[in-house]
Structure 1
Amino acid sequence: MSNLLAAATVAAEGANNPLLPHTSELVVGGIAFAIVLFFGLRFIPKIQKTLAERTEAIEGGLNKAEEAQKQAQAALASYQAQLAEARQEASRQREKAKEEGAVIAAQIKEEAQAEARRIVEQAHAQIEADRQQALASLRAEIGTLSVDLAGRVIGESLEDSARQSRVVDRFLEELEGRAGRQEQITS
């Protein structure tokens, strides 16, 4: 019974049910909905068009960005290839410079050795010339001294130049012969 009573009270209060809106609110709400629907249907194509344009712009931007990224990657790959090629070229240039340096150093060394040989040969020639000059001077000095000595020993004057020359030559030959024999003995 208490359930029936509760149901009867709910039916009596049904006219003031807070869950059911008033009739005036339903009318105003319906008119407002119709106005929003009218303007919404009228502007929805424009909004959709704007959204479609924005979508296309965004997709186009993404496509352009992807294309730009591909180009950047291609440029990077090209740059890296050029850099590698430049490094190889620099390496070849260094090797070539080393080889040329070695060739130049060898040429300079060879020229220096040739110059040294020339200087040594020139020094030998100068020494030989000085030796010959000293020998000639010594011969003349020895000749004069030996003629004077021989003249004193013999007691006669050896003023005759042909005679002097023969005596000096014979004396020097004897000295050279003795020197040659002494060198053979010491060797």
Structure 2
Amino acid sequence: MLPLEGEGPLGPLLPEHLSELFAGIALFLVVWWVVAKKVVPMFEATYAERTAEISGGIEKAEAAQAEAAAALAEYKAQLASAREEAAKIREDAKTQAASIAAEIRQQAQDESARMLATAKAQIDAERALVVHQLRGEIGGLATDLAGKIVGESLTDDDRATRAVERFIAELETESTSERA
């Protein structure tokens, strides 16, 4: 394409007067200097503030996360300690229950032995009393019967008592030999 009339090799960008070119360059340098000295530092300050806020927020978040991790570790330690204490309390309760049960069992056995001994002593006393009473009654009946058989009264108490005791001793000897 051929350049139009009044247009040079730069086309429409070529100013008509050289002063326009210098004024454009001077204005560009002034705008560049104003941007470099005023606008860029404001952007840099804003960027630095935001960077500081972001890094401060990250640091706060990391600190909060570390604090939460420490609190979690402390909570887990307390929970483990509480579990250990609960296990110890359970074991102590089991041990205490076992000792109480053994103590109660021993008391029951002691009470049972005491009651058995008391009952045996009472039975022996009652047996001795009954044997004594029976001897007296059997002796009296035997004397009366012997007196009726013989036809005379056996009033001699010593003789009658000896005869009765001998008779009872013979009965006991016979019953002992039959048991064996």
Give the TM interval when normalised to the shorter protein.
0.7 to 0.9
Query: What RMSD in Å do the two structures reach over aligned CA positions?
Result: 3.3
Structure 2: distance between partners of 1:13 and 1:112: 134
Which one is further off, 42-51 or 112-121?
A: 42-51
**1:12 paired residue number:** 5
Moved runs in structure 1, 4+ residues, more than 4 A? 18-23, 34-41
Determine whether 1:136 maps to 2:132.
yes
**1:178 paired residue number:** 174
- Aligned pairs for 1:32-43 (under 5 A) are 38=34, 41-42=37-38
- Aligned pairs for 1:70-149 (under 5 A) are 70-149=66-145
Secondary structure of residue in 2 paired with 1:157: coil
Secondary structure of residue in 2 paired with 1:156: coil
CA change 1:180–1:39 in 2 (3 A) is closer
Shift of 1:14: 4.2
**Contact (CA 8 Å) 2:7, 2:14: kept in 1 or not?**
no
- Aligned pairs for 1:58-69 (under 5 A) are 58-69=54-65
Structure 2: distance between partners of 1:159 and 1:21: 182
Structure 1: distance between partners of 2:34 and 2:75: 60
**Contact (CA 8 Å) 2:147, 2:153: kept in 1 or not?**
yes
Structure 2 residue runs of 5 or longer lacking an equivalent are none
Shift of 1:74: 1.5
Secondary structure of residue in 1 paired with 2:152: coil
Secondary structure of residue in 2 paired with 1:12: coil
Aligned residues: 173
Partner deviation per Cα, 1:66-120 (whole Å, 9 max, x = no partner): 1111121112112212212221222222222222222222222222222222222
Which one is further off, 115-124 or 42-51?
A: 42-51
- Residue 58 of structure 2 aligns with an amino acid whose one-letter code is L
CA change 1:43–1:157 in 2 (3 A) is same
Structure 1 residue runs of 5 or longer lacking an equivalent are 1-5
**Contact (CA 8 Å) 2:154, 2:160: kept in 1 or not?**
yes
Shift of 1:146: 0.7
Identity of aligned residues (%): 43
Q: Greater share of helix residues, 1 or 2? A: 1
TM-score, structure 1 length as denominator?
0.72
TM-score, structure 2 length as denominator?
0.74
